[in-house]
């Protein structure tokens, strides 16, 4: 694997949402974990050193409920052993009335511009699909100094217990991930690649095989992240990487075209 992307870290420990926090859904799952994490200080002392001592390249996902919180986390990571930062702009942001900063191009530009001045580490912005035009959001992030984009984050969804008529999740709605979102995520990667031909893109969403990873490369992604698949198959990231290698080894002409950026788009 090229890197490990860790769960979002915040300035202080977050307890997350009350349970139930996960529910199955056709071809996927819906969760409202609420970015539970022990905070950036614990991450720097305990979790990051363990990964680095194993020789991992580490992408640290950054979360916050305000611009100041994002800035605090990035400042603490600026001189850390983290290799790259992935800015999760899908958190409800108190600076913007509880709206995710990732849905407002002007707010996103201000945030990324501020963070860019704090760190020299490569900075990836993780985009939310819950927007009208993802290319506008993507361009705002790049114009403000993002080095790369990752997309997509989860789609908003819910499940209802038909015995009670009440939502299964205590938070009522949550984020849908897994194979169900694969074709949607693929189209978002393609749209952003059309609008921004030069920015590195990490494709995310429903990847559980080398074939699906290859579709993302065709759509314009430079790399992929495997997430939900690892919940039911912890070896999924390694398996996907090996399957992709086998596909490209068996079709050297395809590997050469992808390396040269020659795809159908």
From 59, 91, 204, 207, the catalytic residue: 91
Going along the chain, which residue ranges are E strands? 4-9, 22-25, 28-31, 58-62, 84-88, 123-126, 148-151, 155-157, 160-161, 166-167, 174-177, 201-204, 223-225
Please measure the distance between the N-terminal and C-terminal CA atoms of the chain and give it in whole angstroms.
26
98: left (phi over 0), alpha (psi -120 to 50) or beta: left
Asked if 5 is an active-site residue, the reply is no
Beta strands 28-31 and 174-177 are antiparallel
Distance CA 5, CA 252 (A): 29
Question: Beta-carbon neighbour count of residue 227 at 10 Å?
Answer: 16
Q: How far apart are CA 216 and CA 10, in angstroms?
A: 30
Q: How many CB atoms lie within 10 A of CB 72?
A: 18
Copy the structure tokens of residue 106. 């002007």
Q: 3-state SS string over 14-30?
A: ECCCCCCCEEEECCEEE
Helix/strand/coil (H/E/C) assignment for every residue in 108-132: HHHHHHHHHCCCCCCEEEECCCCCC
Phi, psi values for residue 218, rounded to 5°: -60, -35
The catalytic site residues sit at 91
């Amino acid at each position: 694997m090229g890197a490990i992307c860790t769960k979002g870290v915040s300035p202080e420990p977050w307890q997350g949402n009350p349970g139930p926090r996960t529910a199955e859904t056709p071809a996927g799952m819906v969760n409202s974990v609420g970015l539970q994490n022990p905070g950036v200080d614990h991450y720097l002392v305990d979790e990051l050193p363990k990964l680095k001592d194993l020789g991992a390249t580490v992408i640290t996902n950054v979360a916050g409920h305000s611009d100041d919180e994002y800035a605090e986390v990035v400042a603490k990571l600026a001189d850390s052993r983290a290799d790259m930062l992935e800015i999760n702009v899908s958190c409800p942001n108190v600076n913007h009335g509880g709206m995710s900063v990732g849905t407002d191009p002007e707010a996103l530009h201000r945030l990324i511009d501020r963070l860019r001045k704090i760190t020299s580490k490569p900075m990836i912005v993780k985009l939310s699909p819950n927007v009208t035009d993802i290319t506008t959001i993507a361009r705002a992030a790049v114009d403000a100094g993002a080095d790369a984009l990752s997309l997509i984050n989860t789609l908003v969804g819910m499940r209802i217990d038909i015995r009670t008529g009440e939502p299964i999740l205590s938070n009522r709605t949550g984020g849908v991930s897994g194979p169900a979102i694969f074709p949607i995520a693929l189209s978002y990667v393609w749209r952003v690649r059309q609008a921004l031909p030069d920015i590195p893109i990490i494709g995310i969403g429903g990847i559980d095989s080398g074939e699906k990873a290859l579709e993302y490369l065709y759509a314009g992604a430079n790399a992929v992240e495997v997430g939900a698949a690892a919940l039911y198959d912890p070896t999924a990231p390694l398996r996907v990487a090996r399957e992709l290698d086998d596909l490209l080894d068996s079709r050297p002409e395809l590997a050469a075209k992808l390396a040269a950026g020659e795809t159908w788009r």
